[in-house]
Amino acid sequence: MFGKNHGHGGLTFDVPPAMDAAEAARIAFDHDLSLSKHHFVEGEHPVVRIEHLMKTFDGETQVLRDVNLNVWNGEIVVVLGPSGSGKSTMLRCINLLETPTAGHILIDDDEITGKSAKEVGLIRRDLGMVFQSFNLFPHLTALENVMIGQTKVLKKNKDEARAEAVKQLEAVGLGDRIDYKPPQLSGGQQQRVAIARAVAMHPKVLLFDEPTSALDPELVRDVLGVMRELALHGDMTMIVVTHEMGFARDVGDRVVFMEGGVVVEQGLPEQVFDNPQHDRTKQFLGSIK
C-alpha cells in the first residue's frame, strides 16, 4: 500500500499514495472548517492539497518533515515561523522550484509531483510567485515585464497582453509608471510591478515569499495595501509567507505556524495570535511582539 520515495544518498521515506480526491476533500473539509474564515461550500475540494511532503537537501538535511496542508479556493493563508523553519522551501516545492523528496502536492486534485520537465512548465503557469527580491528584468519596462510571461508562456498576442498589463499595473497604482524600467522605480514600486506580473498570468494560486522584507518601512505599506486589496477584492487564492503580523491578523483567513519543517499549529488568526496552543508558537509570537 505504501509508495517508496527515495531521497538522494540515504534517507528513504515511506509515504502512502495520494488519497482519493473525494475522501481527501471530505477529511480536509472537516479538518479545516473551524480553522479558517474561508466560506466553505459543502462538497468543495481544496485547490492545493499537500500530503506528507518531505524535502531533504544533500541526502541528509531534512528541511520539510511531513507537511500536510490544504488551501481552498479564494483562501488567504498566511505562513509564519522562525528563520530556517522551511517556509520558503515549502513554497518552492509547491511551484516545483524545488523537487520534493517524497510526498504529494496536488493542484485541483492533479498530482504535480514526479512530473517531467515539460509538464513542470505547464504546471508552473498555475502557480504565481512573488519573491522578496522582486526578480524583474532590469532592461525591460514595467509594461514589458508584465507582458513577457503572457506572450512567451501563455502565447497571448501583444495587444491582449498589453491591455492586461496596463490593467494590472493600474490596479497596483502604477498606471503612470508603465514605461519606467526597474532601476528607475523604488523597491516598493518594483514589488508592485512583480505583483502585477504575477496576477496578469491569472494563476490558480499566488505564492508570496516575504514580499516586503527587502523594503524600506515607508514602502512596505503600499505593497501590503496592494496585497490587501487583492486578497479582499480579487478572487485570488494566496499563500503568504510574511513577518507582517498586522497583515496576517487582518487579511489572513488562516494562519499557519511552521517550525522545524512541520506545521506546528494552524487556525483562525485570532485563535493563533490570542490563544496559541503550542509552546513554540507562544515563544515565537512572544519574541516578535
Give least dist CB 129 to Mg ion, A.
Answer: 12
Give least dist CB 48 to ligand ATP, A.
Answer: 17
Q: Determine the size of the site formed for Mg ion (CB under 5 A).
A: 1
Q: Answer for the pair 225, 260: CB distance below 8 angstroms, yes or no.
A: no
Strands, DSSP E only, in the chain?
A: 3-6, 12-15, 48-57, 61-71, 76-80, 102-107, 110-111, 127-130, 205-209, 238-241, 254-259, 262-267
Question: What is the C-alpha separation between 93 and 55, in angstroms, rounded?
Answer: 8
Q: Answer for the pair 206, 125: CB distance below 8 angstroms, yes or no.
A: no
Q: Which of 194, 219, 188 has the alpha carbon at shortest distance from 206?
A: 194
CA angle 231, 97, 209 (to 5 degrees): 35
Give least dist CB 267 to Mg ion, A.
Answer: 22
Give least dist CB 20 to ligand ATP, A.
Answer: 30
User: Which residues contribute to the site for ligand ATP (CB under 6 A)?
Assistant: 57, 61, 63, 81, 83-89
Among the listed residues 36, 56, 62, 88, the single contact to Mg ion using CB under 5 A: 88
Give least dist CB 81 to ligand ATP, A.
Answer: 6
Residue 100 interacts, among ligand ATP, Mg ion, none and using kind-specific CB cut-offs from 5 to 8 Å, with none
| Closer residue to Mg ion in complex, CB, 96/166 | 96
Neighbours of 29 (CB within 10 A): 18
Among the residue ranges 83-91, 115-123, 151-159, 174-182, the one whose residues contact Mg ion (CB under 5 A): 83-91
Residue 73 interacts, among ligand ATP, Mg ion, none and using kind-specific CB cut-offs from 5 to 8 Å, with none
| Residue numbers at the binding site for Mg ion (CB under 5 A) | 88
